[in-house]
Chains A and B, each alone.
Chain A
Amino acid sequence: MPSFSGGVVGGGVGGPASAPPRPFRPSRYVPVSAATTFLVGSTTLFFCFTCPWLTENISSVIPIYVAVIFLFTLANFCMATFMDPGVFPRAEEDEDKEDDFRAPLYKTVEIRNIQVRMKWCGTCRFYRPPRCSHCSVCDNCVEDFDHHCPWVNNCIGRRNYRYFFLFLLSLTTHIMDVFGFGLVYVLHHPQELDTPHAAVTMAVMCVAGLFFVPVAGLTGFHIVLVARGRTTNEQVTGKFRGGVNPFTRGCWRNISHVLCSPQAPRYMGRWWNRHAVEIQPPFLRPALTEAQLEAKILDNGIQNDRHSTRSKSSLDQMESQSADMEAPPPPKPDFRYPGLPRADTEASSLLSEAPPTPLMYKYRPAYSSPGKNHAAVTHPNKMTRGESLDSQSPSILQSSRQPSYRSEPSSLDGATVVGRGVGVRRGGGDRGEGPGGPGGIAAVVSGGVSGYSLTGRSYTSYPSSLVLSAGGSRSSSLRSAQTVHNPLATLQSEGTTDTSYKSLANQTPRNGSLSYDSLLTPSESPEFESAAHELSPLRPHAPLPSPAGSGRPGAASPGSPLQGYTSPFLSAQIAQQREGQLLQGSTTFSSPHRAYLRAVSPPPSSPPGPPEAQHLLHHNQNPTSRIPRNPSSSSSSPGARSLDPPVSPPPRGLSLSKSPVHIGETGSRHKPRPAGLGAVLGGGGVGGGQQAPQSTSRPVLANHTTSKPVGGVKKVTGVGGTTYEISV
Chain B
Amino acid sequence: MKGFFPTSTDGNMATEFHNLQELRHSASLANKVFIQRDYSEGTTCRFQTKFPSELESRIERTLFEDTVKTLNNFYAEAEKIGGQSYLEGCLACATAYLIFLCMETRYEKVLKKIAKYIQEQNEKIYAPRGLLITDPIERGMRVIEISIYEDRGSSGSSSGSSSVSDSTAR
CA distance A129 to B143 in the complex (A): 10
Which of B54, B137, B138 has the most CB atoms of chain A within a 10 A radius of its CB? B54
Is B66 close to A, CB under 8 A? no
Neighbouring B residues of A129 by C-beta, 8 Å? 37, 39, 43, 142
Taking a contact as CB atoms under 8 Å apart, the answer to whether B27 and A280 are in contact is: yes
Whether A277 contacts B78 by the Cβ 8 Å rule is no
B149 is an interface residue with CB less than 8 A from chain A: yes
Are the CB atoms of B129 and A265 closer together than 8 Å? Answer: no
Centre residue among B34, B137, B149 by max chain A CB count within 10 A? B34
Q: Name the contact of A310 in the complex, choosing from B31, B119, B135, B162 (C-beta under 8 A).
A: B31
Chain B residues with CB below 8 A from A126, complex form: 142
B87 CB, min distance to chain A CBs, angstroms:
9
Residue of chain A at shortest CB distance from B119: A275
| Chain A residues whose CB sits within 8 angstroms of the CB of B164 once the complex forms | 276-279
Q: Is the CB of A357 within 8 A of B119?
A: no
A95, A163, A280, A346, most chain B CB atoms within 10 A: A280
One of A267, A292, A346 near B34 (C-beta < 8 A): A346
Pair B50/A356 contact, Cβ less than 8 Å:
yes
B107 on interface, CB distance cutoff 8 Å: yes
* Contact flag A286-B53 (CB < 8 Å), given A112-B40, A270-B137: no
Q: Is residue B19 within 8 Å, beta carbon to beta carbon, of the partner chain?
A: no
What is the distance, in angstroms, from A648's C-beta to the closest C-beta of chain B?
33
Cross-chain contact B123 with A262 (CB below 8 angstroms): no
Tell me how far the C-beta of B149 lies from the nearest C-beta in chain A, rounded to whole angstroms.
Answer: 5
B53–A415 touching, CB < 8 Å: yes
Query: In whole angstroms, how far apart are the Cα atoms of A258 and B82 in the complex?
Result: 13
- On whether the beta carbons of B107 and A262 are closer than 8 Å, the reply is yes
B166: which A residues are within 8 A, CB to CB?
274, 276-277
List the B side residues contacting A16 at CB < 8 Å: 169-170
Q: Which residues of A contact B163 (CB under 8 A)?
A: 279
Q: Indicate whether B16 reaches chain A with its CB closer than 8 angstroms.
A: no
Whether B43 lies near A279 (C-beta < 8 A) is no
Residues of A within 8 A of B170 (CB): 15-17, 89
Measured CA separation A94–B145 after assembly (Å): 10
Complex Cα gap A652–B167 (Å): 43
Judge whether A263 and B105 touch: CB under 8 Å.
Answer: yes
Across the A-B interface, how many residue pairs have beta carbons closer than 8 Å? 238
State which of A283, A317, A353, A359 has its C-beta within 8 Å of the C-beta of B149.
A283
Q: Evaluate contact between A310 and B140: CB separation under 8 angstroms.
A: no
Interface segment, one of A71-79, A385-393, A575-583, A636-644: A71-79
Q: Which of B32, B50, B162 has the most CB of A within 10 A?
A: B32
A702-717 toward B: CB 8 Å interface, digit per residue (1/0)? 0000000000000000
**Nearest B residue to A309 by beta-carbon distance?**
B57
CB pair A415–B130 under 8 Å, yes or no, is: no
Q: Is the CB of A111 within 8 A of B40?
A: yes
CB-CB under 8 A from A162, the residues of chain B are 89
Q: Select one of B41, B107, B119 contacting A265, CB under 8 A.
A: B107
- The distance in angstroms between the C-alpha atoms of A95 and B80, with both chains bound, is 29
Interface residue A12 (Cβ < 8 Å from any Cβ of B)? no
Chain A positions 277 through 304: 1 when the CB is less than 8 Å from some CB of chain B, otherwise 0: 1111111111010001000000000000
B79 touching A278, Cβ below 8 Å: no
Nearest Cβ on chain A to B168's Cβ, whole angstroms: 6
Contacts of B60 in A (CB 8 A): 286
Q: How far is the CB of B39 from chain A (nearest CB, A)?
A: 5
Cβ-defined partner of A272 (8 Å) among B34, B59, B85, B135: B135
User: A194-217 vs B: 1/0 string, CB under 8 Å?
Assistant: 000000000000000000000000
Give Cα A357 to B78, complex, Å: 25
**Residues 21-69 (chain B) with a chain A CB within 8 angstroms:** 24-27, 30-43, 48, 50-54, 56-60
Q: Is A20 an interface residue (CB 8 A)?
A: no
Distance, CA A111 to CA B32, complexed state (A): 26
Are B48 and A344 within 8 A (Cβ)? no
Using A285-B129, A344-B34 as known contacts, say yes or no to A261 and B79 having CB atoms under 8 A apart. yes
Q: Is the beta-carbon distance between B88 and A262 smaller than 8 angstroms?
A: yes
A527 to B50, CA, bound (A): 30
A349 at the interface (CB under 8 A from B): yes
Q: Is the pair B165, A277 in contact by a Cβ cutoff of 8 Å?
A: yes
**Chain A residues whose CB sits within 8 angstroms of the CB of B122 once the complex forms:** 277
A283 touches B143 (CB 8 A): no
Cβ proximity bits A342-378 to B, threshold 8 Å, 1 near / 0 not: 1111100110011111110000000000000000000
Interchain CB contact under 8 A, A415 and B142: no
Query: Which of A15, A278, A281, A286 counts the most B-chain CB atoms under 10 A from its CB?
Result: A281
Q: Is A63's beta carbon under 8 Å from chain B?
A: no
Known: A286-B60, A354-B48, A357-B34. A317 touches B53 (CB 8 A): yes
Asked if A281 contacts B27 (CB within 8 A), the reply is yes
0/1 string, B127-170, CB within 8 A of A gives 1: 11110100101111111010001110000000000111111111
Bitwise, A471-496 to B at CB < 8 A (1) or not (0) is 00000000000000000000000000
| B107 and A264 form a contact (CB under 8 A) | yes
> Which residues does chain A contribute within 8 Å of B31, judged by CB atoms?
310, 341-344, 359
Take A89-B139, A279-B165, A341-B30 as given contacts and tell me if A356 and B51 are in contact as well, using a CB distance cutoff of 8 Å: yes
- Chain B residues contacting A284 (CB-CB under 8 Å) are 128-129
| B53 adjacent to A280 (CB under 8 Å) | no
| B80 contacts A262, C-beta separation under 8 Å | yes
Check B42 against A246 for contact (C-beta < 8 Å).
yes
Closest to A286 in B: B60
A247, B132: Cβ atoms closer than 8 Å: no
Q: Give the CA-CA distance A345 to B127 in the complex, in Å.
A: 21
**Bound CA–CA A342/B29 (angstroms):** 11
Asked if B97 contacts A281 (CB within 8 A), the reply is no
The listed residue with most B CB atoms (<10 A of its CB), out of A91, A166, A263, A359, is: A263
B43 contacts which chain A residues (CB < 8 A)? 111, 129-131, 144, 247
Whether, in the assembled complex, B106 has its beta carbon less than 8 Å from a beta carbon of chain A, the answer is yes
Which residues of A have CB within 8 Å of B86?
260
A112:B42 contact, CB within 8 angstroms: yes
A166 CA / B92 CA spacing, docked (Å): 13
B50's partner among A272, A313, A357 (CB-CB below 8 A) is A357
Cβ-closest chain A residue relative to B146:
A357
CB contact under 8 A between A112 and B123, given known A316-B53, A349-B36, A357-B33: no
Q: Report the minimum CB–CB distance from A225 to chain B (whole Å).
A: 16
Query: Residue B30 contacts which of A17, A116, A310, A350 (CB distance < 8 angstroms)?
Result: A310
B111 surroundings in chain A (CB, below 8 A): 265
Q: Bound complex: CA of A260 vs CA of B79, how far in Å?
A: 10
Q: Which residues of A contact B50 (CB under 8 A)?
A: 354-357, 415
Q: A109 in the interface, Cβ–Cβ < 8 Å?
A: yes
With A270-B137, A279-B130 already in contact, the answer to whether A263 and B54 are too (CB < 8 A) is no
A257 at the interface (CB under 8 A from B): yes
Taking the complex as formed, is A447 at the interface, i.e. its CB lies under 8 A from any CB of chain B?
no
Partner of B138, one of A272, A292, A343: A272
Asked whether, in the complex, the Cβ of B115 is within 8 Å of the Cβ of A111, the reply is: no
Residues 61-104 of B, flagged 1 when their CB comes within 8 A of A and 0 if not, give: 00000000000000000111100111011001100110010000
CA distance A542 to B147 in the complex (A): 36
A566 to B133, CA, bound (A): 35
Extra A-B contacts (16), CB below 8 Å, given A92-B139, A350-B36 = A92-B168, A94-B32, A247-B43, A260-B89, A270-B138, A274-B165, A275-B119, A277-B166, A278-B164, A280-B10, A280-B27, A281-B25, A312-B53, A341-B150, A346-B34, A356-B51
> What are 28 A-B pairs at a CB distance below 8 A?
A16-B170, A79-B97, A89-B170, A95-B143, A109-B39, A111-B40, A129-B37, A130-B43, A247-B43, A257-B81, A262-B80, A263-B100, A263-B107, A272-B135, A275-B119, A278-B127, A279-B163, A279-B165, A283-B128, A285-B57, A288-B57, A310-B54, A346-B36, A346-B143, A349-B36, A357-B50, A358-B53, A415-B53
> Which A residues fall within an 8 A CB radius of B?
15-17, 71-72, 74-75, 78-79, 88-89, 91-92, 94-95, 109-112, 116, 126, 129-131, 143-144, 162-163, 166, 246-247, 249, 256-257, 259-265, 267, 270, 272, 274-286, 288, 292, 310, 312-314, 316-317, 341-346, 349-350, 353-359, 414-415
In the A-B complex, list the 3 residue pairs whose CB atoms are closest, starting with the nearest.
Answer: A313-B53, A357-B52, A283-B130
